[in-house]
Chain A
Amino acid sequence: MTNDQNFLNWNLVIGYYLEFGIWDLVIGISKLIMNLFFYLDNNTWLHRLDPRTKIIGVILLSCLCLCFNHPLYMATISLGVVLIAVSSRSLRNLWLLRFILLFLFLFSSIMWPFFAKGPTPLGSWGIIQISRESLLYGLAMGLRLSTFVAIGLIFLSTTRNEELTNGLIRSGIPYPVAFALSTALRLVPTFAGAGATIIQAQISRGLDLESGSIFSRFKKFIPQAVPLFIYAIRHTQLLAIALESKGFSPESKRTFYHELRMSRVDYLTMALLLLFLGLALYIRIGLGLGVILAGRV
């Protein structure tokens, strides 16, 4: 429901940059980060999974992606990931980032054939040789790269910032570290917003960002950086006051409103993923299938 406000539009980001300069680019990027960390508030089976299961799931699925370098086998896994996205209603975020996914796929598919060499040549131009296998291998690599990103996206679309923190703590990471991490992530857009106001204020006073050499541009950075730096100090101090006043102290114990509990579904999910991974390894190593270029991952 609040997602519409974080709708990301690349044309807009680039347009802002041309219009106003670096800070608006920072805002654009931080919006992207917010988007990456943007949780879609649904209640699907994936949302209900323990964050630890999801962290392990991401690792297992990524390993699964590494099993095959034949595009057909790889495509099967990609399809599986898309199905997970559909069932967890996170397709929306994949669609938002479709250009990135497509770019990664195309980039990889086009670049790999130049580097991998296969037995069935299709043509050669000087030192560059392209074979049928290297083309297919490129496709598989393109799929693999986009699938990696998609897995990460699904994870972030179904896991709250707090749950991630929580999951990290339960996986043995100290609370202050996990808390600092999640707070830092949340501060990026706040600081970027302040940066935008600051730059507008300075433009209103005659700061000219449209011309000048690199050196003079750097000098123009100071009127933007100093107020932002002071804002950041002030903001973090207020945050610290608010945190302590609500009883937060990094060393002491605390409870969690969203208590983590591994349920049957969690164990089942992990078992299933392990089973798939074992099966895939058997197909690859035992049967020698799913390989287009032997000797490559």
Chain B
Amino acid sequence: MRPFLSIQDLSFTYRGSDRPALKNINIDIEEPAFIVLMGHGGSGKSTLCCSLNSLIPRFFRGEYQGRVLVKGKEVSRHTVPEMSHHVGMVLQDFESQLFSTNVELEMAFGPENHCLPRQEIGRRIEQYLAFVGLKPFRHREPASLSGGQKQRLAIGSVLSLEPEILVMDEPATDLDPVGREEVLSLADKFRQENRILLMVDQEPETGLSADQIWLMREGEVVTRGSPEEILPDLSRLKSCGIKPLPTIELFERMGWSGRPLTVESAISLIEKRHLIRQRRLFPTPLSLEGSISSPILSVEALRFIYPQFQTEALRDINLSINEGEFVALLGQNGSGKTTLAKHFNGLLKPSSGRVSVQGKSIAGYSHRELARLVGYVFQNPDHQIFARTVREEVGFGLKALGENPLTISKRVADALEPVELQGFEEKNPFALTRGERQRIAVASVLATQPRAIILDEPTTGLDYTQQKNMMEMLRHLNQRGHTIVIITHSMWVAAEYATRTIVMKDGLILADGRTRDIFANEVRLDQASLRPPSIVRLSNWLGTQALTVEQMVDELRKISNSKHQ
């Protein structure tokens, strides 16, 4: 049987780069499969995706060796539009993929390009709108859909071309947990279609339902195999910049046999082998920490109405964040997290209520004064990087605030130290990696030495290693006395780093408390369509205090030691 897809000795180096993005890749796929492709940032995942539909070498130029065959067709000999008959491509950034004025026409665009007759286009619209579950929205403008719906539409608009291979490059990375679920469930459904699905994703949980997992490292496909083969190999996962499954990590560190992939299988293993007994989780007594320090950010009876939408984005919020806290703001898109955070540094003005910084109403500050007290790091570093050198970039705020050059260069050096970018002063910020640019953005806010720093999605777009580095850096800043507030969709980030967690839903605060207590109440989290990370769910079941594998190992050892004594 002729293979569906055959990659033969493929190597590629982008023009202007001296390091190959792909190195000697050899893969044959004989039958339909759901493949999850994982690897660290810059490992060549996107490059491999692009080589399947001729974007490489046709759109992105460079040195190309080897060949890729799709259904016997040599990819590099065909244009991207020609390859669209066989290979569909969904990108991470769903905003830029949609451009029609309604859902139906978006779905029709591909078949129109393929010159299909009107009736056939109609049939495909019906079939694939139903597949992606957007039939009720067929006359809506794409811009009015939620993130998850937009990405589903982007997938549907590619499926309507009926490609044999569907490639999705991080389709769920920019989505909130609900949107992520929506998109991943489509991936599962697609398996019944008898085609190949190749999906890039960072989360090891995504790999669980795959037929095959491919791991990439520095341009090479290091290994391929079933989830049961790939996921238990922790050292290899870590070397590829992938977060290990916490259940497997726990079992390995505890010296227990068995490598459970899910919480459920971990629980049944523990029960069957009596590895450890369930306990009752006692809420810890409130520490006195909070009462010592004074509030830095506080909000009373805050309401906010977006004038364009005439809907209440925030409804009666009361909140006080103390100096030195590490707070995570959780909630779906549209729950009001970002709207609330933008009040803290005066980017938005309350419709009613009061916002205070260090006890003084925000109306009494100018933007300049606020910039020195509350720093705000936006999600995408590329929304603010403009300068030719890192020094100029990081010193921008200080210059705008009228500091003298001597102070500026000292403060820039001070700000680059905690983000571990010392010596980068003369580099061009645009030439740095995404993780480094994220750090530049943090440093440029740090330079004005604000008391509190708010970060919108600080880990999005970073691989596991970079995420960990970023969060360790924030923890370090927190220990130095900065108040940190992060807005995040990543549950493990919140569980592992924040001491306090606030859950928002529909413009209201649904829960606010110690992170351990918030994650203990799975029912309430579920109301906000959130789910604790798997290690915390296991911890909830066991009745331990642990929020990370590390803590759980320590705690379980202590428990068993005290029993033996």
Q: Which residues of A contact B (CB under 8 A)?
A: 1-2, 4-5, 7, 9, 12, 31, 39, 41, 160-162, 183, 186, 190, 194, 197-198, 200-208, 210, 222-223, 225-227, 230-231, 234-235, 238-242, 244-249, 252-259
Write out the residue numbers on chain A whose beta carbons fall within 8 Å of the beta carbon of B88: 245
Scoring A205, A207, A259 by chain B CB atoms within 10 A of each residue's CB, the highest score goes to A205
Q: 9 interchain pairs (CB within 8 A)?
A: A2-B141, A5-B308, A183-B99, A210-B366, A238-B91, A242-B99, A246-B84, A247-B161, A249-B79
Write out the residue numbers on chain B whose beta carbons fall within 8 Å of the beta carbon of A161: 101
Write out the residue numbers on chain A whose beta carbons fall within 8 Å of the beta carbon of B96: 235, 238-239, 242
Write out the residue numbers on chain B whose beta carbons fall within 8 Å of the beta carbon of A204: 345, 347, 371, 375-378, 445
Write out the residue numbers on chain B whose beta carbons fall within 8 Å of the beta carbon of A253: 115
Scoring A197, A231, A242 by chain B CB atoms within 10 A of each residue's CB, the highest score goes to A242
Write out the residue numbers on chain B whose beta carbons fall within 8 Å of the beta carbon of A242: 89, 91, 96-97, 99, 154
A255 and B342 contacting across the interface, CB-CB below 8 Å: no
With CB as the reference atom, state the residue of chain A lying closest to B154: A242
A244 and B80 contacting across the interface, CB-CB below 8 Å: yes
**A235–B95 alpha-carbon span in the complex (Å):** 9
With CB as the reference atom, state the residue of chain B lying closest to A183: B99
Tell me if B361 is interfacial: C-beta within 8 Å of chain A. no
Binary interface encoding of chain B residues 111-125 relative to chain A, with 1 for a CB under 8 A from any of its CBs, else 0: 111111110011001
Write out the residue numbers on chain A whose beta carbons fall within 8 Å of the beta carbon of B384: 198, 201-202, 205, 223, 227
**A202–B115 alpha-carbon span in the complex (Å):** 47
> How far, in Å, is A37 (CB) from chain B's closest CB?
9
With CB as the reference atom, state the residue of chain A lying closest to B444: A205
A246 and B157 contacting across the interface, CB-CB below 8 Å: yes
With CB as the reference atom, state the residue of chain A lying closest to B105: A162
Write out the residue numbers on chain A whose beta carbons fall within 8 Å of the beta carbon of B380: 197
Known contacts A206-B368, A206-B397; decide if A241 and B91 are in contact (CB<8 Å).
yes
Tell me if B222 is interfacial: C-beta within 8 Å of chain A. no
B93 and A238 contacting across the interface, CB-CB below 8 Å: yes
- Residue count of chain B within 8 Å CB distance of chain A: 76
B378 and A200 contacting across the interface, CB-CB below 8 Å: yes
Write out the residue numbers on chain B whose beta carbons fall within 8 Å of the beta carbon of A39: 101
Write out the residue numbers on chain B whose beta carbons fall within 8 Å of the beta carbon of A194: 383
B113 and A254 contacting across the interface, CB-CB below 8 Å: yes
A255 and B118 contacting across the interface, CB-CB below 8 Å: yes
Binary interface encoding of chain B residues 48-70 relative to chain A, with 1 for a CB under 8 A from any of its CBs, else 0: 00000101000100000000000
**A183–B307 alpha-carbon span in the complex (Å):** 28
Write out the residue numbers on chain B whose beta carbons fall within 8 Å of the beta carbon of A254: 112-115
Known contacts A41-B139, A204-B376; decide if A249 and B81 are in contact (CB<8 Å).
yes
A203 and B367 contacting across the interface, CB-CB below 8 Å: yes
Scoring B117, B158, B367, B372 by chain A CB atoms within 10 A of each residue's CB, the highest score goes to B367
B347 and A203 contacting across the interface, CB-CB below 8 Å: yes
**A256–B398 alpha-carbon span in the complex (Å):** 55
A12 and B307 contacting across the interface, CB-CB below 8 Å: yes
User: Which of A200, A201, A257 has a CB less than 8 Å from the CB of B121?
Assistant: A257
**A19–B378 alpha-carbon span in the complex (Å):** 20
* Majority secondary structure of chain A interface residues (helix, strand, loop or mixed): helix
Write out the residue numbers on chain B whose beta carbons fall within 8 Å of the beta carbon of A200: 342, 347, 378
> How far, in Å, is B425 (CB) from chain A's closest CB?
18
Write out the residue numbers on chain A whose beta carbons fall within 8 Å of the beta carbon of B268: none
**A89–B88 alpha-carbon span in the complex (Å):** 40
5 A-B pairs with the lowest CB-CB distances in the bound complex, closest first: A226-B386, A247-B113, A247-B84, A257-B108, A206-B397
User: Which of A162, A206, A226 has a CB less than 8 Å from the CB of B401?
Assistant: A206
Known contacts A227-B384, A255-B117; decide if A238 and B397 are in contact (CB<8 Å).
no
Binary interface encoding of chain B residues 129-159 relative to chain A, with 1 for a CB under 8 A from any of its CBs, else 0: 0000000000111001000000000100110
Write out the residue numbers on chain A whose beta carbons fall within 8 Å of the beta carbon of B101: 39, 160-162, 186
> How far, in Å, is A247 (CB) from chain B's closest CB?
4
Q: Which residues of B contact A (CB under 8 A)?
A: 53, 55, 59, 79-81, 84-85, 87-89, 91, 93, 95-97, 99-102, 104-105, 108-118, 121-122, 125, 139-141, 144, 154, 157-158, 161, 307-310, 342, 345, 347, 366-368, 371-372, 375-378, 380, 382-387, 396-398, 400-401, 430, 444-445, 448
B308 and A246 contacting across the interface, CB-CB below 8 Å: no
Write out the residue numbers on chain B whose beta carbons fall within 8 Å of the beta carbon of A5: 144, 308-309
**A167–B95 alpha-carbon span in the complex (Å):** 27
Write out the residue numbers on chain B whose beta carbons fall within 8 Å of the beta carbon of A7: 308, 310
B307 and A245 contacting across the interface, CB-CB below 8 Å: no
B84 and A245 contacting across the interface, CB-CB below 8 Å: yes
**A200–B59 alpha-carbon span in the complex (Å):** 34
Known contacts A223-B396, A245-B89, A256-B112; decide if A2 and B383 are in contact (CB<8 Å).
no
**A202–B116 alpha-carbon span in the complex (Å):** 48
B376 and A248 contacting across the interface, CB-CB below 8 Å: no
B400 and A245 contacting across the interface, CB-CB below 8 Å: no
Write out the residue numbers on chain B whose beta carbons fall within 8 Å of the beta carbon of A235: 96
A246 and B367 contacting across the interface, CB-CB below 8 Å: no
A205 and B382 contacting across the interface, CB-CB below 8 Å: no
Write out the residue numbers on chain A whose beta carbons fall within 8 Å of the beta carbon of B55: 241, 244-245
**A28–B399 alpha-carbon span in the complex (Å):** 30
B85 and A244 contacting across the interface, CB-CB below 8 Å: no
Scoring B108, B113, B154, B385 by chain A CB atoms within 10 A of each residue's CB, the highest score goes to B113
Write out the residue numbers on chain B whose beta carbons fall within 8 Å of the beta carbon of A252: 81, 113
**A41–B101 alpha-carbon span in the complex (Å):** 11
Other 16 A-B pairs with CB < 8 A, given A2-B140, A207-B397: A7-B310, A9-B307, A41-B139, A186-B101, A201-B378, A205-B444, A205-B448, A210-B367, A223-B387, A227-B385, A227-B386, A242-B91, A244-B79, A245-B88, A247-B81, A257-B111
Write out the residue numbers on chain B whose beta carbons fall within 8 Å of the beta carbon of A256: 112, 118
> How far, in Å, is B390 (CB) from chain A's closest CB?
14
Write out the residue numbers on chain B whose beta carbons fall within 8 Å of the beta carbon of A186: 99, 101
> How far, in Å, is A260 (CB) from chain B's closest CB?
11
B308 and A12 contacting across the interface, CB-CB below 8 Å: yes
**A255–B109 alpha-carbon span in the complex (Å):** 9
> How far, in Å, is A102 (CB) from chain B's closest CB?
23
**A203–B366 alpha-carbon span in the complex (Å):** 11
B386 and A223 contacting across the interface, CB-CB below 8 Å: yes
Write out the residue numbers on chain B whose beta carbons fall within 8 Å of the beta carbon of A239: 96-97, 99
**A140–B85 alpha-carbon span in the complex (Å):** 58
